[in-house]
Amino acid sequence: GGGGGAAMAEDEGLVSVDYEVSGKVQGVFFRKYTQGEAKRLGLVGWVQNTSHGTVQGQIQGPTARVRELQEWLRKIGSPQSRISRAEFRNEKKIKALEHKEFQILK
């Protein structure tokens, strides 16, 4: 337990996290809006539709910014979307970004 300064130091690092969003998230420009929001936050990674009606992908960037996009994926999404659940897994600290940009994968 390092005390008050520990939380700040953690926010400085880079993290990678996988996500999957369920609900009405296909055919509502969800991927395009996710890409736009990620770029606005300066994050990299990818997003794609799955065969079972969800949207999945990976986010990488500064911890605090990644948290912001996680909140956005949980609650907001694209204007026409209806998010029932957003799951995040495989979160890990990374030394450097593994993607150059945030891409929409087919």
How many structural domains is the chain composed of?
1
Residue 12, domain member (yes or no): no
User: Of 40, 49, 65, 82, which is the active-site residue?
Assistant: 49
The pLDDT of residue 19 is: 98
Please say if 31 is a catalytic residue: yes
User: Residue 60's domain is classified under what CATH number?
Assistant: 3.30.70.100
Residue 66, domain member (yes or no): yes
Domain of 67 in residue numbering reads as 26-83
Residue 52, domain member (yes or no): yes
User: Of 31, 82, 89, 90, which is the active-site residue?
Assistant: 31
Amino acid present at 78: S
* Pairwise CA distance, residues 106 & 98, whole Å: 19
Residue 36, domain member (yes or no): yes
Could you read off the pLDDT tens digit of each residue along the chain, which spans 106 residues? 455 555 555 447 999 999 999 999 999 999 999 999 999 999 999 999 999 999 999 999 999 999 999 999 999 999 999 999 999 999 999 999 999 999 999 8
Residue 37, domain member (yes or no): yes
Residue 89, domain member (yes or no): no
Structural contact between residues 16 and 98, judged by C-beta atoms closer than 8 angstroms: yes
The answer to pTM > 0.85 is: yes
* Pairwise CA distance, residues 25 & 81, whole Å: 5
Structure tokens at 2: 């390092």
Does residue 99 sit in helix, strand or coil?
A: coil
Quick one: angle between helices 30-41 and 63-75, nearest 10?
A: 150
Give, in order, the Cα–Cα distances in Å from 15 to each of 28, 53, 69: 28, 27, 12
